[in-house]
């Protein structure tokens, strides 16, 4: 079986610089959005989708230079990030001041639904974070904090209630029957929780080196009904290291995605193999057995995301 069309190499990722409403807003206008598996939540027709096969979840990425920020937003389904490179500050709340956490390479954050969240690269070099979004349609789009929509309008971008962006600087107008996306009402905003950092960290953040220690014999279950971060978002996330790679992985009824964090990994299946490096993404078809193990010496860690068939929706403890 030739699986080359189910492997996306880091060096072949195609960015979109106009993916979201804050693409012209100073401080957010240098970010790049990548849609790797599934349609994602991009608001731009220019977004390239690498693999369109439904998985029950989406895989994407955000690349940003230092001090570039992704504006406050929310999704109807899960949004989990792990840091591939760089140093990142995640913040949340109506104004982004309820709490924050700094993550580094390999750390993962399963952000609870129902709160506005944003992030910025606070490192010294271009950085990349990889994203997992629940559901094949990723919840139907992005919900922006009102000030984000207002700031974008001041810089020429209008989001229509059809979920598409219109650039007034390029003489684009909303089509007949399409209205500007309405701002959330004060009543809607008042219903949104403002959890503190102390409330969020224990249940939603897992650190790379803790997971390395926990994966000394068997894979560390990171997100799932029995995971470090208990949730049932329609997928499970495992963290695999050299000692926990094990033997042949049984065929799963849902697609599986392999995403190396460190080291190089060899994936073998009945009639083929591939070598994956950090930043690469591989989709393993359902009902296919495979083996995965480091192909070189040195540190090696890999995230494995598997669909569960659970409905995508709000964060829920199993």
Q: What is the pLDDT along the chain (318 residues), one digit of tens a residue?
A: 899 999 999 999 999 998 888 888 999 999 999 999 998 888 888 889 999 999 999 999 999 999 999 999 999 899 999 999 999 999 999 999 999 999 999 999 999 999 999 999 999 999 999 999 999 876 567 899 999 999 999 999 998 988 888 988 888 889 999 999 999 999 999 999 999 999 999 999 999 999 999 999 999 999 999 999 999 999 999 999 999 998 888 888 999 999 999 999 999 999 999 999 999 999 999 999 999 999 999 999 999 999 998 888 777 764
Q: Are 215 and 246 in contact (CB under 8 A)?
A: no
Bridge partners of 127?
64
Number of continuous H segments (helices) and E segments (strands) in the chain: 4, 24
Residue 78: the pLDDT is 93
Whether residues 89 and 150 fall in one domain: yes
Q: Is 150 helix (H, G, I), strand (E, B) or coil?
A: helix
The structure tokens listed for 106 are 């390999």
Question: Which of the 8 DSSP states describes residue 160?
Answer: B
- Domain-located, residue 317: no
What's the pTM value of the predicted model, to 2 decimals? 0.94
Residue-level pLDDT at 139: 54
Domain end, chosen from 157, 188, 204, is at: 204
First to last CA, the chain: 36
User: Quick one: which of 180, 171, 165, 184 has its CA closest to 22?
Assistant: 165
Tokens at residue 231, please? Answer: 């949730």
Q: How many domains in the chain? A: 2
CA distances to 20, 144, 151, 183, 276 from 147, in Å = 14, 8, 6, 9, 41
29 and 163 inside one domain: yes
18 vs 22: CA distance, rounded Å: 8
Q: How confident is the model at residue 230, as a pLDDT? A: 96
Residues 100 and 192 in one domain: yes
In a domain, 276, yes or no: yes
- pLDDT for 308: 92
Do the Cβ atoms of 60 and 131 come closer than 8 Å?
A: yes
Question: Do both 24 and 170 map to the same domain?
Answer: yes
C-alpha dist (Å) from residue 46 to 14, 33, 132, 146, 205 = 10, 11, 21, 25, 33
The residues facing 259 across adjacent strands are 303
41 and 131: one domain? yes
**pLDDT of res. 140:** 63
Q: Say which DSSP state 184 is in.
A: P
DSSP code, position 182? P
What's the chain's length in residues? 318
- Token pair listed for 160: 């229509």
Q: How far is residue 6's CA from residue 37's CA, in Å, rounded to a whole number?
A: 9
Are both 85 and 226 inside the same structural domain?
A: no
Containing domain of residue 284, as a range?
Answer: 208-307
35 and 180 together in one domain: yes
> What pLDDT, on the 0 to 100 scale, is given for residue 169?
84
Q: Phi/psi of residue 12, each to 5°?
A: -110, 5
Dihedrals phi, psi of 4, to nearest 5 degrees? -60, -30
Q: Which residue has the tokens 């750390």?
A: 107
């Amino acid at each position: 079986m030739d699986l080359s069309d189910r492997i996306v190499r880091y060096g072949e990722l195609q960015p979109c610089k106009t993916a979201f409403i804050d693409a012209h807003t100073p401080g957010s206008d240098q970010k790049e959005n990548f849609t790797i598996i599934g349609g994602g939540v991009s608001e731009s027709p220019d977004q390239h989708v690498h693999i369109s096969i439904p998985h029950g979840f989406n895989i994407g990425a955000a690349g940003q230079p230092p001090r570039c920020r992704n504006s406050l937003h929310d999704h109807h389904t899960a949004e989990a990030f792990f840091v591939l490179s760089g140093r990142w500050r995640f913040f949340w709340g109506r104004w982004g001041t309820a709490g924050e956490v700094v993550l580094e390479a390999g750390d993962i954050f399963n952000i609870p639904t129902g709160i506005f969240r944003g992030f910025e690269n606070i490192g010294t070099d271009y950085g990349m974070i990889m994203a997992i979004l629940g559901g094949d349609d990723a919840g139907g789009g992005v919900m922006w904090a009102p000030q984000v929509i207002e700031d974008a309008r001041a810089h020429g971008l209008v989001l229509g209630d059809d979920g598409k962006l219109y650039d007034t600087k390029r003489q684009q107008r909303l089509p007949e029957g399409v209205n500007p996306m309405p701002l959330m009402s004060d009543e809607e905003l008042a219903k949104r929780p403002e959890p503190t950092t102390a409330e969020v960290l224990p249940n939603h953040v897992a650190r790379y080196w803790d997971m390395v220690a926990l994966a000394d014999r068997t894979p560390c279950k990171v997100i799932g009904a029995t995971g470090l971060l208990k949730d049932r978002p329609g997928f499970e996330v495992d963290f695999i290291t050299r000692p926990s790679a094990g033997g042949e992985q049984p065929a799963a009824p849902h697609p599986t995605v392999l995403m190396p964090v460190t080291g190089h990994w060899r994936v073998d299946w009945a009639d083929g193999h591939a070598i994956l490096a950090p930043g690469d993404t591989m989709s393993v078809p359902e009902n296919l057995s495979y083996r995965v193990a480091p192909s070189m010496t040195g540190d090696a860690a890999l995230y494995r995301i598997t669909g569960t068939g659970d409905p995508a929706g709000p964060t829920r403890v199993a």
